Chain A
Amino acid sequence: MTTPTSTEDAIDATSVTETSGAVGRSPGQLMWMRFKRDRTGVISAIIVIFFFLVALLAPVISMVYGKDPYTLYGQDMPGLLNDYGYPIQPNGGISSEFWFGLEPSLGRDVFMQLVYGIRTSLGIAVAATLITTTLGIVVGIVAGYAGGKTDYFVGRLIDLTLSFPQTIFIIAFTPVVESLLVPADEETPVWLRAVTLTIMLSAFGWAGLARLLRGYVLSMREREYVEAARVTGASPGRIVFKELLPNLWTPILIQSTLLLPAMVTAEAGLSFLGVGMGELVPDWGRMFLRATQVYQNDITYLIFPGVALLIFVVAFNLLGDSVRDAFDPKIKR
């Protein structure tokens, strides 16, 4: 009866080596460790978190700063805007009172417009990204796992969606949707515009992710562990959620990190084209629209949203790259 003791010894030995350095770590922990070492990734993560915090704390910032994004300061207070509606002070009316200057003609506070504008942009972008990702996951896994006719038809649907000219279609179809929901003589409510935009952005966004995940599932479907699960009588639901999905989180997370800034710019682009949020809602895209009308006289009004958007998108793209590197150190860019 020496065998049991020897196994115990072996176990002891392994536990000793484990404590002396080689600690077992989950893929998540490994990823986190690699990510922490990536300085660019950490800095961009901080910038991204900062933007989200600004969006969340907008009312607090407004209170501390003492202005709100709706009051027409330039019109209410004399001496701020000239007869043509442009700020009298140089550089777009930047002063200790109005940090980023004033909006031409309406005279709203640019800093507040920016801070509240992040809310609109991020709100719509986050919602659209969540819907898009969910749709992409469901469609991709169903197509890849079911195979056969389902896969064929889903594949054609993806082709079709990707062939649709997204921007033109959205600007064309938004008025149609609204003509259906809102009587012709009424203003479109703010929430409805936001919902329409979110749905539109999601309706075109899912196809890329679905195609990618379908490919992954196709290659995993025939692997031994899935086969083993099937042989032992696992239900399709169990196979999808317990066997396939855990292996898909990496591409899903990477894709959605890259998707979010794309959604932010898409929303801003649509507002720039005039199908975004209405005049009353602070929105970056509409700031651009207004800025392109007045830039010859007031370039400052263009600079602030432009630089803010640029910083946000660069930080988010860098974060996406770092997340990918952390998950998959094999990929070298």
Chain B
Amino acid sequence: MLRFLTRRVLGALVILLIISAVTFFLFYAIPADPARLACGKVCPPETLEQARQNLGIDKPLMVQFVSWLAGIFVGRDYGGLGHCPAPCLGFSFVNRAPVFETIIDRMPVTIALTIGAAVIFLIFGVATGIVAALRQGKPLDKIASVSSLIGASVQIYFVGTLAMYFFVYQMQVFRQPKYIPITEDPVGWFSGLLLPWLVLALIFTANYTRITRSTMVENLNEDYVRTARAKGMSGRSVVLRFALRGALTPVITIFGVDLGTLIGGAIITETTFGLQGIGRLAVRAVDYSDLPTLMATVLLAAGAIVVMNVIVDSLYAVIDPRVRLS
């Protein structure tokens, strides 16, 4: 297990390194004047000069990349602009602050949005999937499959905005989505994020229902489930301890991918509900032409996906005893 983990983590680090190299070269080698792109839409000449000097645009690309990479581990000095301490993902000339600070500032929004929605759609999706599998062909199963089809086809900017219109402005059952730190006001935190959670869950649940249903149907016909039944185990524990356990592997796979993608920035959700998370930060960075921030968000998102992959791979062995790690 430990050897497997070490290998996977090393592999993930290599992928991250390659992604950062690829992104770095794409963003700094292809544009005619990366300093201009980094400096912002409204770019005063002295900031442009600062950007040019501090990015080391005149140096070879490899040197630029290495000093950027080194900055992550030891920090970096940005001439007259100040020092960027250890995990230095770059310095935003638009915000005049290290990118990492902004990201730390925005991260809680995205994490709260993701975790809350994930809890709802995982529990709800798997539960409806199990029920649908046990009641194959019955009305409940049909309702589940129709709603999962619609859920899979609907777009967040459509349902999200509709929900805002009806539930926030017309009926006023939800409050305007807003992020309030949980440490400040737990109730406000919950009620401010409830609508985005529910809308996000509505869209994601569909997938989990479908996958859980189809793997559960398969697993309920497996020999080991029949054996468990033949031994006289109760229906509930056969379903939950045997069939569900086998059916969880694909669910975990999708869950890892979804969680990684959402933590990396639920861009459309954040835009729809006006939440200032990582995704919004990225869009804003595009609007204001803030290259360092943009690169950092891309890397962060890639990092989230890669880390989730490692976690998922390790979870396989815990959940499914048939999986051997080697």
Is there an interface contact between A314 and B150, defined as CB atoms closer than 8 Å?
yes
A296 in complex: contacting residue of B30, B36, B165, CB < 8 Å: B165
Is there an interface contact between B267 and A295, defined as CB atoms closer than 8 Å?
no
Q: Enumerate chain B interface residues (CB-CB to A < 8 A).
A: 15, 18-19, 22-23, 26-27, 30-33, 36-37, 145, 149-150, 152-155, 157-158, 161-162, 164-165, 169, 214, 217, 261, 264-265, 267-268, 271-272, 279, 282-283, 285-287, 289, 294-295, 297-298, 301-302, 304-306, 309
Contacts of B283 in A (CB 8 A): 171, 273-274
The CA-CA distance from A172 to B72 in the complex, in Å, is 21
8 Å CB interface, A162-186 against B = 162-165, 167-169, 171-177, 179-180, 184
B305 in complex: contacting residue of A163, A272, A274, A288, CB < 8 Å: A163
Q: Enumerate chain A interface residues (CB-CB to B < 8 A).
A: 159-160, 162-165, 167-169, 171-177, 179-180, 184, 261, 265, 268-269, 272-275, 288, 291-292, 295-296, 299, 302, 305-306, 309-310, 313-314, 317-318, 332-333
Is there an interface contact between A273 and B268, defined as CB atoms closer than 8 Å?
yes
Nearest-neighbor residue (CB-CB) of B287 within chain A: A274
Is there an interface contact between B158 and A309, defined as CB atoms closer than 8 Å?
yes
| CB<8 Å pairs between A and B, sample of 8 | A165-B264, A168-B265, A168-B279, A172-B286, A295-B161, A302-B158, A302-B165, A313-B155
A208: min CB distance to chain B, Å: 11
The CA-CA distance from A309 to B156 in the complex, in Å, is 12
The CA-CA distance from A72 to B23 in the complex, in Å, is 42
Is there an interface contact between B30 and A292, defined as CB atoms closer than 8 Å?
no
A301: min CB distance to chain B, Å: 11
Contacts of A314 in B (CB 8 A): 149-150, 153
Is there an interface contact between B261 and A309, defined as CB atoms closer than 8 Å?
no
The CA-CA distance from A171 to B271 in the complex, in Å, is 13
Nearest-neighbor residue (CB-CB) of B23 within chain A: A169
Is there an interface contact between B31 and A180, defined as CB atoms closer than 8 Å?
yes
Contacts of A168 in B (CB 8 A): 264-265, 267, 279, 282, 297-298, 301
Contacts of A265 in B (CB 8 A): 155
Is there an interface contact between A310 and B301, defined as CB atoms closer than 8 Å?
no
